[in-house]
Amino acid sequence: MPENGANGVAVAEVVCVNVSHQISLFEEAEARSLIDQLLDDSKLYTSTKSYLELLEFTAKLKSFAPFNAMLLHMQKPGLSFAASAFDWKVRFGRFPKDGARPLMILWPFGPIAFVYDVIDTEGKELPQDVSAFWARGNITAFTIADLVRRLPKRNINVETFDGGDNSAGSIRTLSRIEKPKPRGTYKVMVNRNHLPPTQLVTLAHELGHLFLGHLGPDGDLKIPDRRRLSHDQVELEAESVAYLVAFRTGIESKSQTYLSSYVKNHEAVGALDLYSVMRAAGQVETILGLHRGSSFGPKPKRSQESSENA
C-alpha cells in the first residue's frame, strides 16, 4: 500500500460523493489547494508503484465516487470495503462495533459523512466477496446504446466506424466558441467491430481526454484548459480514467497492463495531476449514468430557525 505510512495522515475535506456537487461545494482552486497540501504533507503517491496501487483501490471501491475512494485510501490503506452505517444496516444487516473508528468523506448535504470499514462491523454473515455486491454485470450492446443516448444533450456525439482490432476510437472537437465562455461540440468515434465491454473502455478513455482538459476548456462541462501536456502524460491520464471507470463498472481491460508497463519503465509519477484524474473519472461516470453513490438515509431536514436565518 502507500509508502511512508498512511495511517496517521490528516484528513482534508476535499472529496465529493457525487461529481455533480464537486464544483458547487468547493471552489476548484480551494479544492485543488487542499488536495495538493494533503498529498505534499503525507508524501503519498510519489512513485508510479504507489500511484498504481491507488488506482487499483479506487477502481475496486465502486460504491464511492473516485475522490472519496482516494480519501479513504489515504485514511486507511488496508481497507477493502466500506459503507455508511445506514447501508450496513439496510443492505447487509450489520452494525458498527462499539468504539469503531469512522472514516470521513464529503457528503452533498454535508459537509462530511462517516463510513465504516467492513472489519469494524458485526452482524449477519457477509457474502463471500463483498466487493462483488457492487458489480454492474455484463455490458451489452443495449447497455452501450443506453449510455450513448445521454451524451448528445451535452454536445457530445458518438459514432461508430468499421476498423481493425488495433483501432479503438478517437475524440475531436467539431466546433468551438470562446465567448461569453468557452464551449464546444465533440465527436467520439468507437470501433463497431469491438465487443461492448471494449467499446465502453474506449468511450471512457476518449471522454477522459475531454474531461481532463486535453481538448481545451469548456465552461458548460466545467472542463479546465490542460492542452500543454506531453503525449505520454495525456495518454497515461486518459488510460487511468478508462481503467477506473471500466473496473468500477465490472469490466477487466488491458488498461491495467498498460499502467503496469508504465510503472516498470518510470520511477516517479512526476507531473501527473491526481486531482484532474480523479475528478475526470467521476465526471465520466456521472455523464454516462454509471455512478451509484453510497446511501446515508433521508436528507436531514433544516430546522425552522435555520430556514428563517438562511
What is the residue-wise DSSP string for 231-253? HHHHHHHHHHHHHHHHHHTT---
**Residue 155, pLDDT score:** 96
Nearest-angstrom CA–CA distance, 194 and 171:
17
Going by the DSSP 8-state scheme, the letter that residue 20 receives in this structure is G
Q: Which of 25-29, 98-102, 276-280, 282-286 has the lowest mean pLDDT?
A: 25-29
Do 207 and 251 fall into the same domain?
yes
Q: Residue 104: what are its φ and ψ, rounded to 5°?
A: -100, 140
Listed in sequence order, the DSSP H helices in the chain are 22-25, 28-42, 48-60, 66-75, 85-87, 141-148, 196-211, 231-248, 255-265, 274-288, 304-309
**Residue 266, pLDDT score:** 62
pLDDT at 24 over 60: no
CA within 13 Å, CB half, 30: 10
Nearest-angstrom CA–CA distance, 60 and 236:
19
Classify 138 in phi/psi space as left (phi over 0), alpha (psi -120 to 50) or beta. Answer: beta
Residue at a domain's end among 81, 110, 134: 134
Do 158 and 279 fall into the same domain?
yes
Do 105 and 160 fall into the same domain?
no
Nearest-angstrom CA–CA distance, 188 and 161:
10
Residue carrying the nine cell digits 471512457: 204
Do 71 and 205 fall into the same domain?
no
Answer with the residue of higher pLDDT: 252 or 152: 152
- The per-residue pLDDT of the chain, averaged, comes to 77
pLDDT tens digits for range 144-169: 999 999 999 999 999 998 876 667 89
Nearest-angstrom CA–CA distance, 183 and 173:
10
Q: Look at the chain and report how many structural domains it folds into.
A: 2
pLDDT tens digits for range 90-114: 988 999 999 888 988 877 666 788 9
pLDDT at 177 over 80: yes
Do 235 and 177 fall into the same domain?
yes
Going by the DSSP 8-state scheme, the letter that residue 64 receives in this structure is S
**Residue 134 — very low, low, confident or very high, per pLDDT cuts 50/70/90?**
very low
Inside any domain, residue 294: no
Residue carrying the nine cell digits 465562455: 181
**Residue among 225, 148, 143 nearest 184 (CA):** 225
Inside any domain, residue 305: no
pLDDT at 301 over 70: no
Mean pLDDT along residues 33-45:
67
Inside any domain, residue 25: yes
- Helix/strand/coil for 194: coil
Q: Residue type for 214, please?
A: H
**How many residues belong to the chain?**
310
What proportion of the chain, given as a percentage, has pLDDT over 70?
67
**Residue 5 — very low, low, confident or very high, per pLDDT cuts 50/70/90?**
very low
Do 70 and 152 fall into the same domain?
no
Q: Among 42-51, 256-265, 268-277, which range has the highest average pLDDT?
A: 268-277
**Residue 14, pLDDT score:** 33
Mean pLDDT along residues 171-200:
91
Answer with the residue of higher pLDDT: 80 or 147: 147
Do 245 and 217 fall into the same domain?
yes
**Residue among 212, 269, 221 nearest 53 (CA):** 269
Do 54 and 188 fall into the same domain?
no
Do 275 and 145 fall into the same domain?
yes
Provide Rg for the chain, Cα atoms. 20
Range of the structural domain that residue 157 is part of: 141-288
pLDDT at 309 over 60: no
**Residue 120 — very low, low, confident or very high, per pLDDT cuts 50/70/90?**
confident
